[in-house]
Amino acid sequence: MSAVSKGLQISFVIHAVVYAAVIGGLFHLNQSTGNFNWAGIVAWAWGIGVAAHGAVFVMFGRKK
């Protein structure tokens, strides 16, 4: 695995972990403050970014 692909892998894992932590906190906050599921909107929007980041890793980071 080259240095570039290792960097892509590490950055994707960091992105996914931060996403999970922040979205978990937002859903907890959302449940304690109201009925409208605004945290779901953030999860979907940011999830698109995480998915795009994952696609870049799969397309460019896994070359041998």
Predicted confidence (pLDDT) per residue in 27-50, tens digit? 999 999 988 999 999 999 999 999
Average pLDDT of the chain?
Answer: 90
CA distances from 7 to 2, 12, 21, 29, 31 (A): 9, 8, 21, 33, 36
- Looking at residue 63, its pLDDT comes to 64
- Looking at residue 64, its pLDDT comes to 56
pTM of the model: 0.85
Cα 6 to chain centroid, rounded: 18
Residue 2 pLDDT greater than 90, yes or no: no
